Structure 1
Amino acid sequence: MKQIIIILTLFINATIYSQVGGENVFNFLNVNTSARQVALGGEVLTLYDDVNQPLWNPSTINKEIDNQASVSYVDYLADINYGSATFAHLINRHFGTLHAGITYVNYGKFIGADETGQETGTFGARDLVVSIGYAYKIPKSYFNLGVNLKYISSSIENYTSSGVAFDIGITYFNDIKPYIFSAIIRNVGYQLSMYDEQRESLPLEIAIGASYRLENVPLQWHLTIGNLQQWNIAVKNPSNSQTSIDGTTINEDITFLDNAFRHVIVGAELFPEKVFNLRLGYNFRRGKELKLTDSRTFAGVSLGFGLQLGRFKFNYAFTKYHPISNTNTFTLNIDLAKKNFNK
């Protein structure tokens, strides 16, 4: 009990103020590359059997993901491409399992120009983060405490920046119970080198999550309440503004309940333990902010599937961040511990 109180104290002390979206450096740290997580809404915390989950929540590192590897690719907007690779290995039964991962973003090519508008050629931009994680099972309990350590590198043309960060999470998991609970503090860190002379903060995020598997139906529910470090995360959508007869623009009125739901992400996984499974998710904040009044955009909705083929599992997710562009996420999981294809 004393250990759990200490852990909760660490979580409370780390709950410091942070801005949401576009006001920090290294915002790519809060974009998910796992097709399974993306299909379930993008911020699931409790996938205890997935080698990709520790990139988001290190307290899910456990011996069951030993010798599993994964590669992911995200065909994002325009020429932007995301990708990640992960691997977990059980060192021994006393020490436990280590998890390693790398995530990159390639923003494509840009045309450079001087102050007079003359083109100076092309340049690129990219982001990269390398992480290593470890989880400790608290004795005589069903709680796992996990930590990710991350090194971050970013470059735009000849400007570079770097930083260090860590994630800390705690998960309750009992394999005879149908539910899992988790809490996470992500991206607590420091910008080591700056693009210019101004040091910026990292995109801190605090979230809690839960999963529940129904007893008589092959369905597992996932719920995440994110961005707990900042209550007011609502941004008025210009598409919801109205213009009166005299030409006055009336902006969207965001209520207490509307703002509260923007912290919520829900997902459902059908046939979670079968060879083929289906997934559906909804991100309330994304749905509100990307909604268009005169067009059905399916903003906030994500869907996908998983297909197991021996030691390989292929996951796919479809999301829509823009009315004229789709985002596709592909993940291939490989169980290196299986001795043959049919096992």
Structure 2
Amino acid sequence: MLIGFAKSGWAQPLGGQRVFSFLNLPTHARVAALGGQVATAIRPDAAYFLNNPALADSLRQNELTISLMPYLAAAKYYTLHYGLPVKTKGMWAVGMQYLSYGQMPLTDPLGNTLGTFSANDYALGLTHARTEGNFSLGATVKMVGSAIETYSAFGILADLGGVWRHPSGNLTFGLTARNFGYLIKNFGPTDANLPFDLQAGVTLKPRYAPFRLTITAHHLQRFDISYNDPNLNVRFDLNGNPIPQTLSPVEKAARHLSAGVEFLISPNVHLMAGYNHQKRQEGRLTTGGGLAGISLGASVQVRAFQLTYARFAAAPTAGTSQLSLRVDLERIMQ
């Protein structure tokens, strides 16, 4: 139904003007530790339904997860996820994403200070998921907004997802379409692209192996998602024009992939590592890469509480951390 909207995000390119890019940030520390993109999981955390709404079917009622990420400079990124205590078929949940850029100086064209202003992005969504046999389906509807001083943008977006679980083995396939919908208001008179992302993933645990492997393919709606900065070209033709970098089809396909492994040290202690090839290659454009695209994490469960920490880098000098706390309020109230 939303496909025909003039400002829909079904087939928008990655380049150009975009809004609501914060929706691509990891929604949970486990997601960040496993490469930043997760479309499926064998034992999903409470926050996984923000990546694939079908995974909300395994969410507990009154299960709360809060995540914090110190982003770039003074910016801070928060997420909240909660399983609603609604006694109906399927599972209902609410999720929130909030990115605050802090206070910034407001100046006139001459550089005179006039005060300060703030900027923030936010998304508030309602998710429903239902399981029939080995299949789970889910949908999220969310209000998304962005504000910079007196300028603002607002839209109604949705996510759709499905998951298939092997009836006896530790194998799960997932497919999700994220962030499509309608941009009601933009910062200016021009249209902008929504951060639509079509993802597919698989999670498996080999029998007797002490680890789980997750592989995710993202931005499947467009084959070439490589970024070519003309300012970084070092080759020129006979007329002095820069020659764009060319990539092989194999490299273009690899840019869609991220992978993560979770080591099951014990039932309550897990270690994680991830790799995102697109972020790795983009981080190598200027300084060789460093740790760009590589992520690490750990998770500890103690009764009704689970604490997860991740450290990752999207660029050689732009590393950050994410901390997530899950609380099973139902278990505490018993």
Q: TM-score with structure 1 length normalisation?
A: 0.87
1:118 Cα deviation after fit: 2.8
| Matched-pair contact (CA < 8 Å) for 1:112–1:120 | yes
Query: Residue 300 of structure 2 aligns with which residue?
Result: 307
1:148 Cα deviation after fit: 0.2
Percent of aligned positions that are identical:
28
Q: How many correspondences in the alignment?
A: 324
The secondary structure found in structure 2 opposite 1:73 is strand
Verify: 1:166 aligned to 2:158, yes or no. Answer: yes
1:254 Cα deviation after fit: 1.5
The secondary structure found in structure 2 opposite 1:176 is coil
Verify: 1:95 aligned to 2:89, yes or no. Answer: yes
The secondary structure found in structure 2 opposite 1:53 is helix
Could you list the per-position Cα deviations for residues 231-251 of structure 1 after superposition, in whole angstroms to 9, with x for gaps in the alignment? 11011367974469x998665
The secondary structure found in structure 2 opposite 1:91 is coil
Instruction: Please identify, of 77-86 and 316-325, the stretch whose mean Cα deviation from structure 2 is larger.
Output: 316-325
Query: Residue 253 of structure 2 aligns with which residue?
Result: 260
Structure 2: distance between partners of 1:78 and 1:339? 37
Query: Residue 31 of structure 2 aligns with which residue?
Result: 37
| Matched-pair contact (CA < 8 Å) for 1:233–1:259 | yes
The secondary structure found in structure 2 opposite 1:29 is helix
Aligned positions of 1:86-165 closer than 5 A: 86-92=81-87, 94-138=88-132, 141-165=133-157
Structure 2: distance between partners of 1:61 and 1:338? 18
Q: Which amino acid is 2:102 matched to?
A: G
Query: Which among 181, 191, 198 is matched to residue 173 of structure 2?
Result: 181
The secondary structure found in structure 1 opposite 2:46 is coil
RMSD: 2.5
Change (3 A) 1:255 1:117: same
Verify: 1:50 aligned to 2:45, yes or no. Answer: yes
Structure 2: distance between partners of 1:150 and 1:75? 24
Change (3 A) 1:304 1:175: farther
Structure 2: distance between partners of 1:133 and 1:35? 20
Which runs of 5 or more structure 1 residues have no equivalent in the other structure? 1-13
| Matched-pair contact (CA < 8 Å) for 1:318–1:329 | yes
| Matched-pair contact (CA < 8 Å) for 1:57–1:167 | yes
Query: Residue 190 of structure 1 aligns with which residue?
Result: 182
| Matched-pair contact (CA < 8 Å) for 1:236–1:254 | no
Change (3 A) 1:340 1:298: same
Structure 2: distance between partners of 1:299 and 1:239? 20
Structure 2: distance between partners of 1:233 and 1:295? 20
1:258 Cα deviation after fit: 1.0
Structure 1: distance between partners of 2:302 and 2:281? 38
Query: Residue 23 of structure 1 aligns with which residue?
Result: 17
Q: Which amino acid is 2:271 matched to?
A: L
1:112 Cα deviation after fit: 2.2
Structure 1: distance between partners of 2:201 and 2:327? 26
Q: Which amino acid is 1:316 matched to?
A: Y
Change (3 A) 1:158 1:317: same
Q: Which amino acid is 2:124 matched to?
A: V
Structure 2: distance between partners of 1:129 and 1:305? 27
| Matched-pair contact (CA < 8 Å) for 1:239–1:291 | no
Query: Which among 199, 207, 217 is matched to residue 215 of structure 1?
Result: 207
| Matched-pair contact (CA < 8 Å) for 1:221–1:269 | yes
Q: Which amino acid is 1:61 matched to?
A: A
Q: TM-score with structure 2 length normalisation?
A: 0.89
Q: Which amino acid is 2:196 matched to?
A: L
